[in-house]
Amino acid sequence: MTLPDHISIWAELADVDHELLHVDVGGVRTRVLRAGSGPDLVLLHGTGGHLEAYARDIAGLARDFRVTAYDMVGHGWSDLPDLPYTVDVLSDHLLGTMDALGIGSAHLSGESLGGWVVAWTAAHHPDRVERLVLNTPGNIANKPEVMARVRDSTLAAVRTPDDATVRRRVEFLFHHTEMVTDELVNLRRAVYARPGFGTAIGNTVVLQDPVVRKDFAWTPSWVGRITAPTLLLWTEHDPTGGLDEADMLLEWLPDARLRVIADAGHWPQWEKVDEYLAVHRAFLSAQDLP
């Protein structure tokens, strides 16, 4: 019998040397996973997520880079201080995590909310960013219906973290929902069931409030300040933003190119691992995209 491509998160990491640790970032206990050697590459997950979003990619990326994945403040198993996790707060936490790990500058690759945070960081702290990957950053046009969908589905899953509601939230990320495993659902249920996580997720979805969001919304005024070479990694079936929004960023960014991954949703790093790895390896090494 042929083994499936994916067995479990642990199996994805079974043959790669790595360390899982917690570092203090300005008083925030922050969970970090590191692997590999070479130029630094930092990976950021999305809203309500955690570092396991990259479980299928870490071994492949670690062949070429010193990979750091971590739980953003208020996410995963990092601390949950009671304050709004606006993009500037998440960016400061990213920089603090890099400082705690001795990383001066790095390639940054962020998915969804993580893409928003790395873009903001590149605009405001260009000396800390080598190259930038914006992976399905979503809703560049700040559409109210997308903001409501992300907010409502996330809050519903956290308020009632049973199998059905959390599975529905995780399936939102996939084009091929049959790839959503019980392990992935239960992992997220464990995060959502943490004491204090109800308050934390309220502090996260403030970014889906138009009044709060306006101070950080994607606009040419700050996006145009990004000087790092940037890869826009889009997919054919992202529920949070279409190619028209990628075209907006292409106009605003001084040095950007677009790659569209076919047959994938909001998590190409899980659904299309080989292509995700190949484009990262090529772009971050300043080679032509495959």
271: buried, middle or exposed (CB in 10 Å: 19+, 13-18, 0-12)? buried
The mean pLDDT of 280-285, rounded to a whole number, is 96
Burial 30-69 (b: 16+ CB within 10 A, else e): bbbbbbbeeebbbbbbbbbbbbbbbbbbbbbbbebbbbbb
Residue 132: its H or E element: strand 129-135
The mean pLDDT of 193-209, rounded to a whole number, is 94
In this predicted structure, what is the pLDDT of residue 4?
A: 86
In this predicted structure, what is the pLDDT of residue 38?
A: 97
Tens of pLDDT along 158-189? 898 899 999 999 999 999 999 999 999 999 99
Q: Is the model more confident about 287 or about 191? A: 191
Average pLDDT, the chain: 95
Question: Of 290, 147, 172, 146, whose CA–CA distance to 231 is shortest?
Answer: 290
The mean pLDDT of 199-213, rounded to a whole number, is 93
Tens of pLDDT along 249-281? 999 999 999 999 999 999 999 999 999 999 999
Superfamily of domain 9-285: Alpha/Beta hydrolase fold, catalytic domain (3.40.50.1820)
Reported confidence tier of residue 53, pLDDT bands at 50, 70, 90: very high
Tens of pLDDT along 58-75? 999 999 999 999 999 999
Structure tokens at 159: 């308020």
Tens of pLDDT along 119-159? 999 999 999 999 999 999 988 989 999 899 889 888 988 89
In this predicted structure, what is the pLDDT of residue 286?
A: 85
Reported confidence tier of residue 91, pLDDT bands at 50, 70, 90: very high
288 pLDDT higher than 80 = no
**In angstroms, rounded to a whole number, what is the distance separating the alpha carbons of residues 209 and 155?**
13
Q: Under a CB-based contact definition with an 8 Å cutoff, are residues 165 and 157 in contact?
A: yes
18: buried, middle or exposed (CB in 10 Å: 19+, 13-18, 0-12)? middle
In this predicted structure, what is the pLDDT of residue 1?
A: 79
Rg of the chain taking only CA atoms, in angstroms: 17
**Percentage with pLDDT > 90 across the chain:** 89
Domain ranges of the chain: 9-285
In this predicted structure, what is the pLDDT of residue 289?
A: 78
